Amino acid sequence: MEPGPSYGRLTFTGLEHRDERLATTLSCNRIHFAASAGICLAVATHPAGYRAYLLTDSLDSTRTLEIPGTPSRARVSIDGRLAAYTVFVGVDSYLAPGLSTRTRIVDLASGRELADLEAFEVKRDGRSIHGADFNFWGVTFTRDPTRFYATFGTASRTYLVDGDLDARTLTVVADDIECPSLSPDGMRIAFKKKSGSGFAARWQPAILELSSKTVTLLPEPRHIDDQIEWLDNDHILYAVAHSVSAAERRSDVWMLARDGSSAPVRFLADAESPAVVRP
């Protein structure tokens, strides 16, 4: 996000030498990577449209997919087999009236669409539920790529759902969870906790302990609008915007301890959509 020729480009940096950056020629709005594959969601100009580029670990594009709206969220499974993406359709904000999203899971090798979450059965308290206003976003994969968590939104409320790709089901497991991100050890979910309503709403990073369903709000006073990434089992990364100019968006990536024991630390200046590539 640094102004100049590499603005908006997919860029790499070492975790221990973050002042050194290697910019690619690929323009992305949202990205995510595993050790062997990645996905780049882009607002393309030549020709105009919304696209997902499926990438190898050497950044070769194996497939280009037309996607049905503005890039919002992206995740790659730990084994690099699958990717999930969320786009806005018709609106460009989770605050907008008439929010409509599409979330799909694709096979990274073939580019084949495996699932559209809107076609899944939603279960709550053992019963199937239905609604015309259902929306889904923010997938995070478990170690088994056929199992995942995501956000389910309906009637101005959000829920954490446990997804089963094979069974085509989404099961509500917790309330008021948005944009989940599963920790590397699978023990916790980092998410955005909403307070307020309408255009006065703001989101604060929080941690859900999956075993006890205990929620810890973290000491970040600024509004965040990001799907949190885990640096390791004890620290999270997320972007905070410091300019919302239509001409030039700017943001930095910040780090927080998951137990809330310290104040936020700027981890990477002029960056967003962080993805930690693990060996």
Which two three-digit tokens encode residue 270? 């002029």
* Contact between residue 199 and residue 190 where contact means Cβ atoms under 8 Å apart: no
Beta-strand relationship, 169-175 and 157-164: antiparallel
What is the maximum span of the chain, computed from C-alpha positions, in angstroms? 53
CA separation for the pair 29, 242 (Å, rounded): 17
CA separation for the pair 232, 272 (Å, rounded): 18
For the chain (length 279 residues), average pLDDT per consecutive 10?
91 91 93 93 88 92 93 95 92 60 95 96 96 94 97 94 98 96 98 84 93 95 92 97 76 96 95 91
* Contact between residue 129 and residue 122 where contact means Cβ atoms under 8 Å apart: yes
Place of tokens 């070492």: 14
Which two three-digit tokens encode residue 255? 């780090």
Q: What 3-state class would DSSP assign to 46?
A: coil
Q: What is the dihedral of CA 251, 256, 258, 263, to 10 degrees?
A: -130
At 118, give phi and psi (nearest 5°): -65, -20
In this prediction, residue 96 carries a pLDDT of 52
For the chain, which residues make up each domain, given as ranges? 9-268
CA separation for the pair 135, 133 (Å, rounded): 6
**What are the CA-CA distances from residue 172 to residues 76, 145, 164, 177, 259 (Å)?**
22, 19, 12, 10, 25
| Cis check: omega of the bond before 47, within 30 degrees of 0 | yes
Residue 5 DSSP class: T
Q: What 3-state class would DSSP assign to 228?
A: coil
CA separation for the pair 149, 147 (Å, rounded): 7
Closest CA to 139 of 157, 156, 152: 152
CA separation for the pair 139, 58 (Å, rounded): 24
CA separation for the pair 114, 221 (Å, rounded): 39
9-268 under CATH 3.90.550.10, yes or no: no
pTM for the predicted model, two decimal places? 0.93
Closest CA to 160 of 136, 141, 125: 136
Which two three-digit tokens encode residue 228? 């949190």
